[in-house]
Chain A
Amino acid sequence: MSSATTSSATIARPAALAANPEAPAPVATPPVVERPAAAARRWGSRAISVFTAVATRLVAIGLLAAGWELFPRLGLADATFLPPLSEVLVAWWQLAASGELTAHLQASLLRSLGGFGLAIVIAIPLGLVIGWYAPIANLLNPLLEVFRNTAALALLPVFVLILGLGETSKVAIILYACSWPILLNTVSGVRTVDPLLIKSARSLGLGPVRLFQKVVLPAAVPTIFTGIRLAGAYSILILIAAEMVGAKAGLGYLINYAQYNFAVPDMYAGIITISAIGLLVNQLLVHLERRFSTWRTQ
């Protein structure tokens, strides 16, 4: 972001501004001509710094992988319970090749996305209404606090009891868990809009509907997105737990079933898949969140 700010100094300033300078005058710039050797050195050092940044991030992952491979092989860990990484990757490949993994993945993603998507569709409008009408917010606030502080998984047995062991209870518990962060963030996003912006818009004669549409909603978007990102993480977290109870497919089922049948490499293959998906979903949502809140950069 800072690049956008500093670049203003290089743009020709309009006459009226130049007459009474307020932005600091541009510092005398060094001659633009640069010797090729210096430029190459600069470029080289940038490439090195990018490389170092990537390498630093990969080092820890690499160490974990190396440890996972070596410890069982050297007998430092029991290979029955922790097979070397290479064996796990072979098992993963076999699961993938047989189509089994895809089937589990599909079952899991359908549940996750179903619950997550429904939560977005339900919780955002609900949160907007609750946030916009102060009396409703005040009335519901204690209730929201109670539910927010009740771990969703504690309610899993209740969901199973009422909705049975099928898909409904699984999607429902994910929907439930994902709704809270979205709902609470939406409410707070709407309630914390800068009152001066509202006052200023009112002074322009905007009615309640347009005030909401043009000021409150856009102001709340970044906060709502934070809620969506949290919900994305929850949707994976809760999914696995839900699939360990009475499922016939899904990654949680795969992990649980493999453990039960002592197919230990398969179990780890499932775990790796889940963590990769979690990582992917989070990266995607972080990226989206950033795109929608660039203006918040101060």
Chain B
Amino acid sequence: MTSIDSAGRDRTEPPKIRFDGIGKVFHGRGRSVTALQDINLDVAAGEFLVLVGPSGCGKSTLLDLLGGLAAPTSGRILVDGVPITGPGLDRGVVFQQYALLPWRTAQGNVEFGLEAKGVPRRERADRAREYLHLVGLSGFHDRYPHELSGGMKQRVAIARSLAFDPDILLMDEPFAALDAQTRDGLQDELLRIWQQTGKTIVFITHGIEEAVYLGQRVAVLTSRPGRLKEIVEIPIAGRTDTEDLRSDPEFTRYRHQIWSLLRDEVSRAQDQELARNRQEASVV
């Protein structure tokens, strides 16, 4: 007996990723900050999930936990049913600031992940070329990061994360530092790569339009402490085929829905900030 939910997803399939009661508290300088509280969320294999939330609500923290770079204070994260204990090559992380090794060429940077995986030297070079081609950078393999534009650097970073063939791609505001035109182009490329490779993608952004454009589902987090406020399904099919999807009435409706959800959180975050500043001012 299978149960099919409203979005047509088979819920009896075990989730690729399961956040199970995740909480994270930072201790430092005499006070503690609760960054995340009681996050429960499943991500299906091959899903494109987008996380949005006001700045400082714990999005990056959540991704660090999923990447195994930090441990949760409470709860656990399961990948394929197995709890995460540290970083692993089943998950690839793409950072906003590219994180390329400046002394290595584009090719060398893509090979870096393959070295970590222990791929033999000759195969590394071939695979690096292949993935640079996938992200549209054939012919740029011998460029150093300082010789590449921001968008090209992020392409290299994406190629690096794809090359060692992780099941899951974690992306923390990867296009936030890029200009609008470059961003639009890379969004389409990412969708193409996703469709082509079938990766599970968890994508963080603070851009509402980006969230609706990319995500099959958009998870909205509350302001600090970050909790799951709502998950919005975006059942738009054939995104890259639709011309000017962004001005489609359906698209606009979803954008408005997420905008409304976020507006309350952003103003709440600002109130909190003001209250805290006032409190600190009165203590001094």
Binding site for B on A (CB under 8 A): 4-5, 8, 11-17, 19-23, 196-197, 199-206, 210, 214-215, 218-219, 221, 295-298
Contacts and interface: CB of A to CB of B under 8 A. Distances in A.
Q: A-B pairs with the 3 shortest C-beta distances?
A: A16-B136, A20-B185, A200-B99
Contact of A204 (B87, B97, B152, B182): B87
- A interface: dominant SS: helix
Interface stretch (B31-39, B119-127, B140-148, B274-282): B140-148
A17 to B, nearest CB: 5
A61 B88 CA distance: 62
Given A14-B137, A22-B152, A205-B89, A8 B147 contact: yes
29 contacts: A5-B146, A15-B136, A16-B189, A17-B136, A17-B137, A19-B185, A20-B182, A20-B184, A21-B181, A22-B151, A22-B178, A22-B179, A22-B185, A23-B152, A199-B95, A199-B99, A201-B112, A202-B69, A203-B67, A203-B68, A203-B69, A203-B87, A203-B91, A204-B113, A205-B88, A218-B101, A295-B144, A295-B145, A298-B146
A20 B181 contact: yes
Nearest to B164: A204
Nearest to B178: A22
B88 A214 contact: no
Interface residues of B, number: 45
Interface string B180-200: 011011101100000000000
Contact of B112 (A16, A196, A204): A204
B89 A204 contact: yes
A204 B178 CA distance: 24
B94 to A, nearest CB: 9
Given A8-B143, A20-B185, A204-B112, A14 B102 contact: no
A17 B112 CA distance: 24
B151 to A, nearest CB: 4
Interface string B51-72: 0000000000000000111000
